Each structure stands twice: as C-alpha cells, then as structure tokens.
Amino acid sequence: MSEYYRWQNPSKTNRFSYCQYPFILSIVAKKTILQRDSEQQMILNARIAKKQNDLKKKLKVTFIGEPGLDMGGLTKEWFLLLIKQIFHEDYGMFVYHSKSRCYWFSTAQMGNLREYNLIGVLMGLAVYNSIILDLHFPTLCFKKLLSPPVVPQDVDRNPVGMCNITMDDFTQVMPDVAVGLKELLSYEGNVEEDFCMNFQVSVEEFGEVKTHVLKSNGHDIVVNNENRFDTND
C-alpha cells in the first residue's frame, strides 16, 4: 500500500504510518514521499499496462552472485520465492484458513484491485512459462475464473468472474462457519431468542478480529425466523 494512500485515507488502513500525521513532517519529507509514491505508481503502471507484449517473451532468470544458465530451474526457484513472499501474512493479501487448508482473499485489501491484478499477471506468467506453482486455493476460484469460459474483449462492459456462490462453495473456505449457518437456516425453534444474532459477522485475520456489516444497518437488525433467508442488501 502506497504511503500517499495512507496519507489520503488514514481511516482505511490499520498499520501505523507517519503519513497519517502529516503535521509532524517537514516540507522536504512530504516532497520525498510524494515523489517516491509517484515513482512506484509509474513502475506499477508500466508493468501492467505498457509492457503486455513483453510478458509473452521467454522468461530468463539470473541471481546476482550466482553464475549459471537458466535451464528452467532458476525460473522455477524465482517463482517459488516470489509466491512465498506474496502469500506471507506480512504482505496482507491472502489469509490462510487452517481448517480448510487453503488461502482466501483478505478483507483488509478490499478495493486494492491493482495489486491483485499484478499477482494474477505473475501467476499467468508462470503458467505461460510452464512453471507449476503450489497454490492452495478452493475450487471456487476456478469457478470464478471460468465465468465466462472465454473472456470477452470488452471486459469493462461485460461481467467477468461473476458466478453464483453456493453454501458448498463457502464450505470449502470456512467449513466451521458453514456448519453454523446451516444449523441457523434449518433451526425449527425461535431463532431470534435462541441465537441472539444480527446481520454482522466477525472475522479474524492476522490475529486481529474485524466486524463486517452484512447489509445496510445490519448491526441493528435482529435475525429471526423470517429474515434469516434474506440475501438482499
């Protein structure tokens, strides 16, 4: 996440940054931060938008201080090291669910599509170079990738990755939560009195519990026998 983003959106980031308190920074420091941020944005845009054709060239990898020709082993090692870093919790892009033994997207990164797009480009580059990556995603991800099976040319006007998510799909990611939801939906007693729930959910990510409202004013709406099936916002 860029320092400028932290500066402009202090309420949307959970990590400490001096840019959240610009009054303690000098003019020189502010200038340096803005300059570095603009450089990073230009580099990122160049990687994604301006050099698409270069991605189809054969990838050759060399490690500094390690002589040798890349016959495929160095490229594979580079991808493995890169993927390991991307999925590390310090990067904050993916959350590992131990019970399902798979990764899912972090809710803390909602709206950060540019970096996810870059990760997708890297994974596609690995496939293009015949590199097998050890990625533990639920089949729901492949279901979204195949919706539609062929990506339309005008992706801005055509929905891509939109699919109907079922309870079985959710079970692949959070099986324990899915069991509780199934019990709630099939419960024959008084849901409001016995469950004492509202339309919000708490999720733990990286050791921190965050609460998300499931619908407008969900924290004030009690779940009962009638509205427990409600899927509308």
| Digit-coded pLDDT (tens) for 115-144 | 888 888 888 888 888 888 888 999 988 888
202 located within any domain: yes
Residue 34's Cβ-count burial label (10 Å; 0-12, 13-18, 19+) is: middle
pLDDT of residue 108: 78
What's the pLDDT tens digit per position in 56-89?
677 777 777 776 666 667 888 888 888 888 998 8
Residue located via tokens 């939801």: 181
102 located within any domain: no
What's the pLDDT tens digit per position in 157-196?
777 888 888 889 999 999 988 998 899 999 999 999 999 8
Could you tell me which residues are beta bridge partners of residue 2?
A: none
The dihedrals phi and psi of 125, each to the nearest 5 degrees, come to -65, -35
201 located within any domain: yes
200 located within any domain: yes
Whether the CB-CB separation of 69 and 80 falls below 8 Å is answered with no
Give the span between the Cα atoms of 135 and 105, in whole angstroms: 13
Give the span between the Cα atoms of 156 and 159, in whole angstroms: 8
195 located within any domain: yes
pLDDT of residue 151: 73
144 located within any domain: no
Give the residue with greater pLDDT, 8 vs 120.
Answer: 120
118 located within any domain: no
Give the span between the Cα atoms of 137 and 105, in whole angstroms: 10
Is the pLDDT assigned to residue 156 strictly greater than 80?
Answer: no
Tokens at residue 97, please?
A: 């669910």
Whether the CB-CB separation of 5 and 13 falls below 8 Å is answered with yes
The pTM score is 0.64
Domain holding 201, by residue range, is: 190-232
Structural domain tally of the chain?
1
Asked whether the CA dihedral 144, 163, 105, 5 is positive or negative, the reply is positive
In order, the DSSP letters of 192-233 are HHHH--BSEEEEEETTEEEEEESSTTGGG-B--TTGGG----
212 located within any domain: yes
